[in-house]
Amino acid sequence: MVDLGCWPGAWLQVLAERVGPEGRVVGVDLQETDPLPHPVAVMQFDFAEPGAPERIALALTRKADLLLCDASPKLTGVRDVDHAALEEVWQAALAVADHVLTPAGAAVIKGFPCAEADAFRLRLRERFARVSEVRPEGKRGTSREFYWVALHEVPSGPRSSSGRRGGRNRRRRKS
């Protein structure tokens, strides 16, 4: 599991509990973070810098099943500058995903509504089987952030006559 940016130590500890002693959690942040015990490795650098995906991949003991990117650039209030900075973060997260995820791995990446987000969502859909947007409960009412959840594998299950998988929210026919 790889975590990029702005996740306090408490989040890394929760992730470490989820992956267990055989797993690995790598946290990358610009800010200095207190070291945490195994299975957590904390790295301090800009994950958008050249060579960052390779550095992160080296910190893992195997390919990751999940990439979490909660990174957000410092916003200036200048629309074009801020949108370009967001796009740089998203492209860097995708580059890391390409280097560290297993073929069936998933990515969760923070997003904000803008035209660049629409274009990035299309890039995610080119690489992942399913992409959805989730707005976390408990976020401030003024926050417009959301998370893309990108999955490589389509869930298994019986196909309906329309070719769709799964069975939730389907109406039953009366016999």
71-85 pLDDT, tens digit each: 888 889 999 999 999
Angstrom distance (rounded) from CA 28 to CA 83: 22
Q: Tell me, yes or no, whether 158 lies in a domain.
A: no
Residues classed as catalytic: 110
The predicted structure's pLDDT at residue 139: 60
How many domains is the chain built from?
A: 1
Share of the chain above pLDDT 90, in %: 34
Q: Report pLDDT for 138.
A: 64
Domain-located, residue 160: no
CATH at 35:
3.40.50.150
The reply to whether 93 falls in a domain is yes
Q: What is the pLDDT of residue 71?
A: 86
pLDDT-based confidence at 141, cuts 50/70/90? low
Q: What is the pLDDT of residue 102?
A: 87
Neighbours of 92 (CB within 10 A): 20
Q: Is the pLDDT of residue 166 over 60?
A: no
CA distances from 69 to 1, 106, 158, 163 (A): 11, 11, 32, 33
- Is the residue at 169 inside a domain? no
The tens digit of pLDDT for each residue in 15-73 reads: 788 888 888 888 888 888 888 888 888 888 898 999 999 999 988 878 888 888 888 88
Among 12-16, 56-60, 129-133, the range scoring the smallest mean pLDDT is 12-16
d(CA 92, CA 8): 20
At position 3, the amino acid (one-letter code) is: D
Average pLDDT, the chain: 79
Question: Which residue in 104, 81, 107 sits closest to 94, CA to CA?
Answer: 107
Is 164 domain-assigned? Answer: no
Q: What percent of the chain has pLDDT over 70?
A: 78
Q: Which residues pair with 27 in a beta bridge?
A: 3, 42
Q: In this structure, are residues 96 and 53 in contact, taking their beta carbons and an 8 Å threshold?
A: yes
Q: Tell whether the model's pLDDT for residue 9 goes beyond 50.
A: yes
Sheet holding 25-29, edge to edge: 40-44, 25-29, 2-4, 64-69, 101-111, 146-151, 130-134
Cα separation, 23 vs 132, whole angstroms: 26
| Helical segments of the chain, H only | 9-19, 52-59, 79-100, 115-127
Q: Does residue 174 sit within a domain? A: no
| Residue 48 placed within a domain | yes
What pLDDT is recorded for position 165? 41
| Domain region containing 146 | 2-151
Q: Tell me the CA distances in angstroms from 33 to 8, 12, 41, 107, 112, one per residue in order.
A: 8, 11, 10, 23, 25
Distance CA 145, CA 7 (A): 15
- pLDDT at position 118 is 93
Q: Flag whether 44 is in a domain.
A: yes
